[in-house]
Amino acid sequence: MIDLRHPLAVLAQRMPWSQIEAALAPPLAHKDRAGAVVGEVDLFGPSAQLVGAGVSAAGRPRLSIRLMASLLYLKHAFNLSDEELVERWTENVVWQFFSGNEYYEPRPPCDATQIGRFRRAIGEAGVEELLKATIDTAVTTKAVRPNEFERVIVDSTVQEKAIAFPTDSRLLEIARHKVVMAAKAAGIALKQTFAREGKSLRRRAGGYAHAKQYKRLRRVLKRQRTVLGIVLREVQRKLETATTESPFTVHRLQTVMERADRIRKQQPKDKNKLYAMHAPEVECIGKGKARQPYEFGVKASIAVTHRRGLIVGARTFPGNPYDGHVLSAQLEQTGILLEDVGRTPKQVVVDLGYRGVDADNPGIEIIHRGRFKSMTNRQRRWLKRRQAIEPAIGHLKADHRMNRCWLAGSLGDALHTVLCAAGYNLRWLLRAIVRGRTGRLFFALWLAVLRGMFIASALLPSSKRMRGDSRWLSGTAAAG
């Protein structure tokens, strides 16, 4: 018993759920396994048996694909964490209708950790299918015309990672602490861990940096590097005496030691520095912002339609490449997402960071203000809307969780960017439904006014109708 005129309820009946389920089903299907041969000895002697072969039907049945896909949509459309999402889902009847429920369910749809597992299972191709479904829905609902996809705006931004600001003293102390903890987990007893001195050095470094006493700060950093080197060398000597039998624990210790040694040796002006122990993929990117000279994350490229602002492309580019060098890859993704629409971008409006890449994009008209003098009047009008992508990027970061990525690894960065774009498009579709309903209301009112004017003019006496008394007609129309 819900209002089926609610925008989310209307959208639930117009989304291509069967198309989404068909696209996401293959990576979630049970796989045919080769199995393993297990030997055993019984009364009749040794024997071998094949175990674990074929497609297993063991375990609990999986949740519906529509339910999990709708949870990803709602998470990024309304800027919620996984825990907040499942909690609000139990309270919101319209959200349950959007997820495909026929009856109200007071229990959570799933555990919050299942959302992350589903996200990793479908991969980058799966989340791109979710984004593609929002674009197809915008076309089928006539919220955007197909010819609008021939002209897009492309810009790049930085998707920041969930890390602390990487000061040298903090990185060195975190590296020492992580090495000590990993060594203890592997069963290695250290002669000295420098826990007390490390805490004191970290506090002193913060005070010297705040007071701009850089000579003292450099002495503290030198001591921190020395302490970290002492711990690393002791762990390396005792690595063969590790008591653990788990290869995963030993591998984790070696990984932590490798990253800690990299932090110990890196200098302030080195390239490819390590900015976080838990996120080695993080890069330092400067976009020329006065309020934030450096951002730590990954470069993300966004493409929106020129007129309506619907997102038709979103992907990450590790390695901090030049903006113009990623344009061809971004347009390739946009063309894949627009396959069912039957249109491809022909004009791209960009900023000056995309100069000099015409040879890499044949058949594409690249418009930027560096060519202003040679442009036609129509191209100059198109260029005036280049800034329309800036508020879209702002909403992606402020309202759809793109300001900080909490997902692990480079794969997490790629998934997060596309899902943020899908959440943005979902909210865009909700606004389009409301806008279309309002437009129909004003159209109906306009028809009613015209009908009243026609009836009033038909009731006029013939002499007044021939004379066309404008004052009487205008008064009748106002009353109508």
Rounded-to-integer distance, Cα 442 and Cα 197, Å: 73
Tens-binned pLDDT, residue by residue, of the chain (480 aa): 788 889 999 999 999 999 999 999 888 887 777 767 777 766 667 777 776 666 667 777 788 899 999 999 999 999 999 999 999 999 999 999 999 999 999 999 999 999 999 999 999 999 999 999 999 999 999 989 999 999 999 999 999 999 999 999 999 999 999 999 999 988 888 899 999 999 999 999 999 999 999 999 999 999 999 999 999 999 999 888 777 777 888 889 899 999 999 999 998 788 889 999 999 999 998 888 888 889 999 999 999 999 999 999 999 999 989 888 999 999 999 999 999 888 899 999 999 988 888 888 888 889 999 888 888 999 999 999 999 999 999 999 999 999 999 999 899 999 999 999 999 999 999 999 988 765 565 556 667 766 777 676 766 565 554 444 544 444 444 444
Whole-model pTM: value is 0.83
Measured CA to CA in angstroms, residue 352 lies from 93, 348, 380, 433 at distances of: 48, 12, 15, 36
Q: What is the dihedral of CA 177, 181, 187, 193, to 10 degrees?
A: 30
Q: Which amino acid is at 306?
A: H
Q: Are 304 and 338 in contact (CB under 8 A)?
A: no
Residue 33 in tokens: 């396994």
Measured CA to CA in angstroms, residue 207 lies from 90, 176, 219, 220 at distances of: 49, 20, 13, 11
Element (H, E) at 387: none
Q: Give the length of the chain.
A: 480
In Å, the largest CA–CA distance within the chain is: 119
The SS3 assignment for 293 reads coil
Nearby residues of 35 by Cβ (< 8 Å), 6 or more positions away: 50, 51, 52, 53, 54
